[in-house]
Structures are given as C-alpha cells and as structure tokens.
Amino acid sequence: MKVSIIRRLLTITALLTLTVGLASATQIAVYCGGFSLAGTGAGGYFNPVVNPVATGNITCPVYNSLPGGQVFASEQLILQADYTGGNTGTNTVQTTYSPGTLAMSADTLIVTGVVTSGAYSDTFGANFPFNVGLGLGGPSFWVDGAYVQSTYPTVGGTIAYSASITSGTVQAVSGNIWELITYNPQQTGSPEPATMAMLGSALIGLGLIGRKRFVR
C-alpha cells in the first residue's frame, strides 16, 4: 500500500513540474515585411529569366512591447521563401537574405520543385514547423540559427533580399521575415497564483489518496 501511495505521489509531482515548465516560456512573432513578384513573360513566367528577379529591403521594427510582468529571453529571425507556378521540369529559386543595418549573417534559402515547390533548404537555419499559436510555419519557414539577440529592447533594422531563379522558370517568387520573440514570466519571491493553484490541486489529490487508504 505504501509503495502505491509513493508511486502516485511521484506521478502527481512529475505532472505538476511538467505543467509549470511548459507554461514558463512564451513566443510571439512580429511581422517585418515581405516581397512578392510575378513574371511578365509568356504564360506569366519570368521569361527570359534575368537574375536576380527580385531585390529590395525589409525593415524589422524595434520590439519594445513586452507584456507586463514578463522577462525578455531572446530574439531570432524566421525567414521564409517560396515560388508558385513552376514550369514543366525542375525549377529552383534561391533567395538570399543579407545584412542591411541589422547585424545578421547572409542566409540563403533554396526552393526546388516542379509545378509546385517540394524541397527546401537553408544555410544556417532549422526548419520552423507550423505553430498553431503563432499561426505560421511549415516546410518553407526557417529559424536563422546565426542570429540570436539577447538584449532588450531589440535593435531592429533592415535586411536585404535577392531572389534568383537558378534553373527552370516560375510565375511568381515571394518571401517574408518575422522576428521571433521569446520571453518568460518574471520570477518573484512568492509563488504565482497559477502555481499555487496547481500545487493545491496536487495536495487535494494526495488527500483523496490518503482517504481511500484509510477507508480500506
């Protein structure tokens, strides 16, 4: 009987710890901007292909809107690039994001496919799968692993882009950039209400276990 109670106690403690850990960090995505350019050749394709087909600058804002009671952890960049309306055969679009006034390292995203894109790669990044909370992500989204800012407020600045069609041709190229902001609840000397509520639930569970034991 004692072993059973200890096992249940450990289970409740583990669940409580896991819940607190999962609730600790929060991420938001701040949209910087993007580009989208359509071909004007025959059939709406870029024809003849002149590289680069799209160039310009995107400005990421200074982020200083941290919710009250939160502590800034980091800022990273989510980079995205894709194409639509590929011609028959293999089509490849290479998009390079490089530093303007924002001190990042040049990062190249390569998209390959036939009519629709199907394979993606990135120089520095790790793929950012679809995030329901943020409402973005997928195979064409990448977190720039070479850019991590740990000071707050963030500095902001411009990022240059250059999209080139390196094989085949397509009807449109596009790309977008977000700032990925991570922050944590501010630690205080006294437990937060949510933590106390979870601890109380655990104690209630222990009480019920003890009561069941005595009834037996």
Domains of the chain: 24-185 (2.60.120)
Per-residue model confidence as pLDDT tens digits over 131-171: 999 999 999 999 999 999 999 999 999 999 999 999 999 99
> Which of 202, 184, 189, 188 lies closest to 17, judged by CA?
202
pLDDT tens column, 20-45: 444 578 999 999 999 999 999 999 99
**What's the confidence (pLDDT) of residue 16?**
44
pTM of the entire predicted model = 0.77
Task: Convert the pLDDT of each residue in 66-85 to its tens digit.
Answer: 988 899 999 999 999 999 99
Distance between CA 138 and CA 127 in Å, rounded? 8
Whether the upstream peptide bond of residue 153 has omega within 30° of 0, thus cis, is yes
> Residue 194: pLDDT above 90?
no
Average pLDDT for the chain: 84
Residues in the chain: 216
